[in-house]
């Protein structure tokens, strides 16, 4: 199953969960209210989240004079991808990492940490930038926003369902004797399932960005080498920031290499990503 098809299936599962909870609430009114509230909250984050994230990490825009090599690489890869050249930002953090943000290719930003510039060679850095431009090309920010809208609506509905079950209110006219224990169980399990599905969507998009980036740079092995270095460094050098932004970075900045943390990470295992990239390179 390709990453694109998998994403569609997972978004469908989120939608199914939403409808299931809406039915348990007893009618379409509660479903529509919850969905509208979640939509307003997440559309707002879609328009302004990139500014908030850049501000959170104290990122500053780099002029061409500040970093001519990085600008040249971003310009080249953006041209390969057929998109406008994204702005370039520097995050003053020692952990080597990178992310892309912006609601569309016309408003995109590629951000790199000061640490990444120190440990990667030019071809590895080019591979990382290609990965981030891959996220922009694949509209991953929009997809993550849609997933967040659905996930937020599910959490909101689950909370409503839990309280209506406890106090015995709500339910449709046909739901005589509805089981409050089953409703509470659904209210607890649905947000957990939604979170796991959102993680799966994020992991699927990382694989796709790896694939797209490798094609844009024409050097899968350089990206594979960079991922290995970044993963090792992330386990040793802390990142100062919010875990809520974990899915934005090329490697998970907060797992610290711990196996349990990796199990619930928004990123797929680095070893598997490297294996796939080496396979793209033909094992050479």
Determine what percent of the chain is predicted with pLDDT higher than 70. Answer: 79
61 carries an active-site annotation: no
Average pLDDT, the chain: 83
**Given this model, what pLDDT does residue 41 score?**
65
* Residue in 36, 42, 34, 83 with CA at minimum distance from that of residue 212: 83
**Given this model, what pLDDT does residue 136 score?**
95
Domain span including residue 49: 3-280
How many structural domains comprise the chain?
A: 1
Inter-residue contact 207 to 3 (CB < 8 Å): yes
Phi-psi region of 114 (alpha: psi -120 to 50; beta: other; left: phi over 0): alpha
Phi-psi region of 268 (alpha: psi -120 to 50; beta: other; left: phi over 0): beta
For the stretch 221-240, pLDDT in tens is: 999 999 999 999 998 999 99
Biggest CA–CA distance in the chain, Å, is 71
pLDDT band at residue 138 under the 50/70/90 scheme: very high
DSSP readout, 53-92?
HHHHTT-EEPPTTT-HHHHHHHHHHHHHHTSPPPEEEEE-
Catalytic residue among 132, 206, 211, 246: 132
Q: What token pair was written down for 214?
A: 């490798």
Q: How far apart are CA 122 and CA 88, in angstroms?
A: 16
* Structure letter (DSSP) for residue 249: B
For the stretch 12-29, pLDDT in tens is: 777 777 767 766 666 566
Inter-residue contact 63 to 56 (CB < 8 Å): no
For the stretch 100-126, pLDDT in tens is: 998 889 999 999 999 999 999 999 999
* Structure letter (DSSP) for residue 243: G
Asked if pLDDT for residue 43 goes beyond 90, the answer is no
For the stretch 144-201, pLDDT in tens is: 767 766 776 777 777 777 777 666 555 544 444 456 777 777 778 877 888 788 788 8
Asked if pLDDT for residue 6 goes beyond 90, the answer is no
**Given this model, what pLDDT does residue 33 score?**
67
Q: How far apart are CA 266 and CA 245, in angstroms?
A: 10
What count of other Cβ atoms lies within 10 Å of the Cβ of residue 229?
A: 17
Asked if pLDDT for residue 142 goes beyond 60, the answer is yes
């Amino acid at each position: 199953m390709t990453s694109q098809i998998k994403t569609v299936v997972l978004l469908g599962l989120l939608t199914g969960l939403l409808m299931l909870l809406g039915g348990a609430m007893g009618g379409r009114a509660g479903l529509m209210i919850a969905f509208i509230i979640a939509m307003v909250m997440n559309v707002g984050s879609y328009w302004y989240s990139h500014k908030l994230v850049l501000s959170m990490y104290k990122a500053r825009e780099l002029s061409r004079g500040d970093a001519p090599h990085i600008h040249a690489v971003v310009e080249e890869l953006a041209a390969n991808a057929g998109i406008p050249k994204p702005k370039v930002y520097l995050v003053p953090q020692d952990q080597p990492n990178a992310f892309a943000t912006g609601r569309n290719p016309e408003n995109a930003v590629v951000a790199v940490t000061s640490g990444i510039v120190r440990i990667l060679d030019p071809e590895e850095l080019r591979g990382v930038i290609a990965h981030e431009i891959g996220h922009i090309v694949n509209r991953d920010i929009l997809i993550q926003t849609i997933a967040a809208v659905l996930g937020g609506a599910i959490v909101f509905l689950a909370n409503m369902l839990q309280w209506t079950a406890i106090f015995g209110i709500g339910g449709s006219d046909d739901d005589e004797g509805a089981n409050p224990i089953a409703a509470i169980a659904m209210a607890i399990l649905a947000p957990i399932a939604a979170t796991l599905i959102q993680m799966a969507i994020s992991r699927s998009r990382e694989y796709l960005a790896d694939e797209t980036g490798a094609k844009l740079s024409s050097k899968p092995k350089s990206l594979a080498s960079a991922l290995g270095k970044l993963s090792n460094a992330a386990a040793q050098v802390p990142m100062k920031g919010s875990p809520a932004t974990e899915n934005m970075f090329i490697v998970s900045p907060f797992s610290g290499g711990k196996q349990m943390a990796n199990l619930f990470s928004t990123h797929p295992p680095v070893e598997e990503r490297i294996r796939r990239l080496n396979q793209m390179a033909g094992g050479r």
